[in-house]
Amino acid sequence: MYRRVSILMRKHFVSVLVLCVGMIASFSARAAGDPTKGKALFQQNCASCHNVHKQLTGPALQGVEERWSDKKLLHQWIHNSASVLASGDAYANALYNQFNKTAMTAFPSLTDGDIDDILSYIDKEGKAAPATDTKTPGTTTAGGEEEGGNGLLFGIITLILAVVALILMQINSNLNKLAADKEGVATPEPVPFYKNKAYIALVIVLLFIVGGYFTINGAIGLGRQKDYMPQQPIFYSHKVHAGINQINCLYCHAGAEKSKHAMIPSENICMNCHKVISDYSGPQLFTAEGKKVNGSAEIQKLYDHVGWDKTAKEYTKPGKPIEWTRIHNLPDHVYFNHSQHVVAGKQQCQTCHGAITEMDEVHQFADLSMGWCINCHRTTKVQFADNKYYSIFEKFHEQVKEGKIDSVTVEMVGGTECQKCHY
Amino acid sequence: MKRTSNILIAAALVSGALVSACNRGENNRNPGRHYMPDMFESRAYEFYSERVSTLKPVEGTVKRGELLPYHLKAADTAQANLVKNPLILGKADLEEGKRLFNIYCGVCHGTKLDGNGPLYKDGTGPFVAAPANLASGPKASYTEGRLFHVMTYGYLNMGSYASQLDREQRWKIAAYIHSVQNGGANVAAPAAPAASTDTTKATAAPVVVAQAK
């Protein structure tokens, strides 16, 4: 048997040599361990308290094998941390005290092979630097600028044409005058154009129209804030939260289903996730002015407000509220109720607030004028079927059944009555 | 006549320019102006009112229609295991629990309850800690009382959801989670209304775990 193997070896000496070298190379760094298997085990057993790069409930695991003096002890620690603590190991006890005496869960079911797999995954993951996002900022030529450029161009062209027209008119009148002189017809002394009554009347009418247009438009706009986009104390991007990370609007604005107000979330709701997420790793953010925004620094602002220490993982200072700037504001003489529109009316948030999931900075999408409200109430069909809220309108239900009307609008159930919103 | 019309024009132009100028700043950073702003700031107890919105209700206040307060403290997990769901929930309530779960919990725990929601995404999402797998494994044997307790106080990296979900909603979610855990095996035979609607049933491991009574 042995001889046969050795003959085989001699035959395939080179290939065996290559295989051996390859094996040594791959095994030299760590003892046998399969990082892909380790990753699955890590996510199943360890990841709820540990991360390779970041400290969570337990320490960051990068370089964990170098920190433990004895590999056997590390295995024992993972199998049953209490027994290592009881043995009086100095490093283990220091670790235990550092993490507020939170005991690590015992994993007696993990075999030594499993632990080697996990350690090899940690080693591999630890060597790969934490993913840093170096996406190049997208081209941010704002559409507004282009429009402004076009406007300027058109203005200049109009001006040039007007000057040309004026010159031509002047030439025309001069030629007329010359022709009249030649024929010997006496022409009256020309009236300068600024004393010409027709001109003056024209200018007055034009100015009145233009001035009136601006006055009335401006007066209508008084107290309305469409497109208002204030700078908020923290650069909170709805695009990142509701768009990229798919957090439901109601997760933070839980009041939209229950009360008049959609609710600006309190800071504890931010901290539900940001206890763990302390660094921003998404695409580069920009303010409306085109300035770069450091996402992680903005998260730090949240920590400063709530008094959270991200290294110690606890609240160390008293919090102070974040003073968000209110965007949408209806005066007190209008009653608006979010829950009525969201629950009974089954309206989507985006109907009134626009494409929130694409806004880094939120602006007011609708003008919130009365005309805007009424228009929607006139055209929107209420979900009449299977909606207990409208069961009281028996007559309409009958008419729908008989086929006299095909749908019921908000107006038909009293949506344009004055005292529905003003009382 | 001419003079009055001139004055009229000048007045129209100036007021027009003024009124339109004061409405917007660059990038619409300015909210614009209000005439008669006296009803813009509410004097009533409103959410955004600076004076009163930070007032808390009197200690011990119970909202009308709300369940009675939950008295266990965060550390009382052993007692929490024994707490029974005070609500009698039908199929519609479990559907509501599912809807609420998908909004408030699914973002981390996944709509399949497998601990792999869009914020974690197998470790590639921004949330670096793995959320608990509620469908199978050790968390699948939690009682409804314990699930309610965790929602109320949070656990490890999970925060409290008491400010977003009232007690009734939390019980509905607990009942929903319980009804689909372990492939629906947790629910006792006579009251298994949601098991049929469960989509995770096929994938979840059919492990029957003895419930704490």
Q: What is the pLDDT of residue A387?
A: 77
CA distance B28 to A388: 42
Report for A157-161, A309-313, B81-85, B184-188: range of highest mean pLDDT? A157-161
Closest residue on chain A to B161 (Cα): A269
The answer to whether the CB of B40 falls within 8 A of the CB of A329 is yes
B118 and A329 within 8 Å at the Cβ level: the answer is no
β-strand pairing of A292-293 with A314-315: unpaired
Q: Which domains does chain B have, with CATH numbers?
A: 77-196 (1.10.760.10)
Q: What is the pLDDT of residue B209?
A: 33
Beta carbon pairs, A and B, within 8 Å: 171
CA distance A370 to A357: 26
Residue recorded with tokens 């009525």: A340
The closest of B183, B196, B178, B174 to B100, measured between CA atoms, is B174
A11 pLDDT tier (thresholds 50, 70, 90): low
Name the burial class of residue A331, with classes exposed (0-12), middle (13-18) and buried (19+) by CB atoms within 10 angstroms of its CB: middle
Closest residue on chain A to B5 (Cα): A204
The answer to whether the CB of A232 falls within 8 A of the CB of A324 is yes
Per-residue pLDDT tens digits for A17-48: 444 444 444 444 444 677 777 777 777 778 77
Report for A112-121, A334-343, B23-32: range of highest mean pLDDT? A334-343
Q: Cβ of B199 under 8 Å from any chain A Cβ? A: no
B-facing residues of A in 125-154 (CB < 8 A) are: none
Q: Cβ of B18 under 8 Å from any chain A Cβ? A: yes
Q: List the single range of A55-59, A195-199, B141-145 with lowest mean pLDDT.
A: A55-59
Name the burial class of residue A318, with classes exposed (0-12), middle (13-18) and buried (19+) by CB atoms within 10 angstroms of its CB: exposed
| Mean pLDDT value across chain A | 81
The closest of B202, B203, B174, B168 to B187, measured between CA atoms, is B174
B39 and A331 within 8 Å at the Cβ level: the answer is yes
Per-residue pLDDT tens digits for A265-274: 989 999 999 9
pTM above 0.80, yes or no: no
Q: What is the pLDDT of residue B12?
A: 64
State mean pLDDT over A354-367: 92
State mean pLDDT over A178-206: 83
A48 and B131 within 8 Å at the Cβ level: the answer is yes
Q: What is the pLDDT of residue A143?
A: 39
| Out of A57, A222, A329, closest to residue B33 by CB | A222
B-facing residues of A in 163-192 (CB < 8 A) are: none
In chain B, residues with a C-beta closer than 8 Å to the C-beta of A272 are: 158-159, 161
Per-block mean pLDDT, blocks of 10 residues, chain B (213 long):
65 64 68 76 70 74 85 87 89 93 92 88 84 85 91 90 92 92 64 38 34 33
A228 and B20 within 8 Å at the Cβ level: the answer is no
Tally the residues of chain A. 423
Please provide the distance, in angstroms rounded to a whole number, between the alpha carbons at the two ends of chain A.
101
Q: What is the pLDDT of residue B5?
A: 65
Q: List the single range of A11-15, A157-161, B7-11 with lowest mean pLDDT.
A: A11-15
Q: Cβ of A231 under 8 Å from any chain B Cβ? A: yes
Q: Cβ of B164 under 8 Å from any chain A Cβ? A: yes
Q: What share of chain A in percent tops pLDDT 70?
A: 87
Measure the CA angle with vertex A67, ends A61 and A71; round to 5°.
95
Comparison of pLDDT for A331 and B20, the residue scoring more? A331
State mean pLDDT over A161-183: 90
Comparison of pLDDT for A32 and A83, the residue scoring more? A83
A246 and B107 within 8 Å at the Cβ level: the answer is yes
Q: What is the pLDDT of residue A247?
A: 93
Q: Which domains does chain A have, with CATH numbers?
A: 35-144 (1.10.760.10), 221-366 (no CATH), 369-423 (no CATH)
Q: What is the pLDDT of residue A24?
A: 45
For residue B195, CA distances in Å to A155, B113, B189 come to 69, 14, 10
Per-residue pLDDT tens digits for B163-198: 899 999 999 999 999 998 877 776 654 443 443 333
CA distance A27 to A24: 5
- Is the pLDDT score of A132 beyond 80? no
Q: Cβ of B19 under 8 Å from any chain A Cβ? A: yes
